[in-house]
Amino acid sequence: MNKAIDAYGPMQRIIEEGQRDIMHTYAQFPVVFASGHGRTLVDTEGKEYLDFVAGIAVNALGYGDETLAAALKHVIDNGVLHCSNLYWNPYAVNAAKLLKLVSGMDKVFFCNSGAEANEAALKLARKFGHLDGGHRSGIITMEHSFHGRTYGAITATGQAKYHKDFDPLLPHISYAVFNDFESVCSLVDDDTCAILVEPIQGEGGIIPAEKEFLVSLRKLCDEKNLLLMFDEVQCGMGRSGMPFAWQTYGVKPDVLTIAKALAGGVPAGAMVASGVAAEILQPGDHAATFGGNLLAMSGACVMLERLAEGTLCDHVQAMSAYFLKALHALQAKYPSIAVDVRGLGLMLGIQLSVPPRTVVDGAMSRGLLVASAGYDVLRFVPPLTVTEGEIDRAVGIIDEVFASLASQSE
């Protein structure tokens, strides 16, 4: 066990101190993790958990990846973790080059999180609307979307529960119905400058966009001179089975936001843009002290090199097909519990007729970590390195939980 963690003492004490000292913005599960290997997390009492949450789609390489550890250690050993964007650093430059390669976009802005990447995109969109003396500032986003917790990002988020008690929000943001092109068209007016959409809605309940919807949005943006912006914070970095979901759909946005798995677990985010959009932000327009930080960028280089090799995405596609088949079999076995199975790549979900929390808790007590999404969806976002054997184990545990729920309702 990790000695540094061990020194904090027993699990219960850590939890009690956390409850006392950390602001109560999360409803944590009563567990403390001390170490990890592969796709397994180990708590401070030595209990092992197969992890199909991956820090909510962050730990794409699982735990203990030697290449990632060596790259981070190299930066630490050199003594400079951070040097500010007043100066160049080779890790950020290399990460930008790799990110352009795998995303097919033209220019990169580095920041630290998904919300920050979306803030950068919202600012870029507004400046685009002001080009050539224009005054367009309207941005259309989708109902049930999730874009983060900063002011711009919660405003862009099309879910009232995230807005409650925080108004006034950002003006000139409106919400269309996801996968309903007519609903988007009805919101476009002379003020509109951009459309922001998750190709696969994550927090909203693992809902993939229909290809036709994204194709139509692209056409609309071209006709009306609007920026098409994809939030790939959760579905990007290989999760959809391609480096980015836009490649899975074959619909290229003007702006792409990225975070979560970008640096393999070190906090990092990015907004990438192509064409005209790549040239809009100029010195003084936007900044982030830690953006492009050496430690984070060394992690990003490892992740992006792994994506560039191609084998990781091939693996995601193979595991996705295997996992989906097993989930459909589970749905056939428990049709009254599993209402729908959906998702893309290794971003999969089961819509449930029972509260997801009952399944999350049942799985956790049996040594499997899964999360919920929306009000009624069980979400699976395992490390992208997950194996068939681990998928079998996870599905076996969900099967046991469903069986016990089914027997209770008899």
Ligand X SMILES: Cc1ncc(COP(=O)(O)O)c(C=O)c1O
Contacting residue, 36, 62, 129, 148, with ligand X by CB under 6 A: 148
Residue nearest to ligand X (CB): 114
Residue from 103, 113, 320, 351 in contact with ligand X (CB under 6 A): 113
CA angle 69, 47, 383 (to 5 degrees): 45
Residue type, 29: F
CB of 259 within 8 A of CB of 269? yes
Output the smallest distance, CB 88 to ligand X, in A.
Answer: 25
Q: Which is nearer to ligand X, 242 or 338 (CB)?
A: 242
Q: Is position 203 an interface residue for ligand X (rule: CB under 6 A)?
A: yes
Which residue lies nearer to ligand X by CB, 41 or 381? 381
**What is the total count of residues that contact ligand X (CB under 6 A)?**
15
Tokens of 183: 């609903």
Determine what percent of the chain falls in helix, strand and coil, rounding each to the nearest 5. Answer: 45, 20, 35
CA dist list (Å): 289 to 86, 121, 292, 398: 9, 17, 9, 43
Q: Which stretch binds ligand X (CB under 6 A): 45-53, 145-153, 169-177, 321-329?
A: 145-153
Pattern of binders to ligand X over 41-80, x per CB under 6 A?
---------------x------------------------
- Looking at residue 58, the DSSP 8-state letter turns out to be T
Query: Binding to ligand X by residue 231, rule CB under 6 A?
Result: yes
Give residue 10's Cα distance to chain centre. Answer: 32
Q: Which of residues 237-276 bind ligand X (CB under 6 A)?
A: 259
Q: Rule CB under 6 A: is residue 146 a binding residue for ligand X?
A: yes
- Which stretch in 30-38, 46-54, 93-101, 195-203 sits in contact with ligand X by CB under 6 A? 195-203
Binding part of the chain for ligand X, among 10-18, 109-117, 178-186, 375-383 by CB under 6 A, reads 109-117
CB 258 within 8 A of CB 117: yes
Position 147 contacts ligand X (CB under 6 A):
yes
The smaller minimum CB distance to ligand X, of residues 236 and 362, is found at 236
198 binds ligand X (CB under 6 A): yes
> Is residue 234 within the footprint of ligand X (CB under 6 A)?
yes
Burial class (CB in 10 A: 0-12, 13-18, 19+), 106: middle
Minimum gap (Å) between residue 112 Cβ and ligand X: 8
Q: Which residues pair with 167 in a beta bridge?
A: none
- Angle 255-261-265 from CA coordinates, rounded to 5°: 140
Residue 83 carries which side chain, given as an amino acid letter? C
CB atoms closer than 10 angstroms to residue 54: 28
Provide the binding-site residues for ligand X, judged by CB under 6 A.
Answer: 56, 113-115, 118, 146-148, 198, 202-203, 231, 233-234, 259
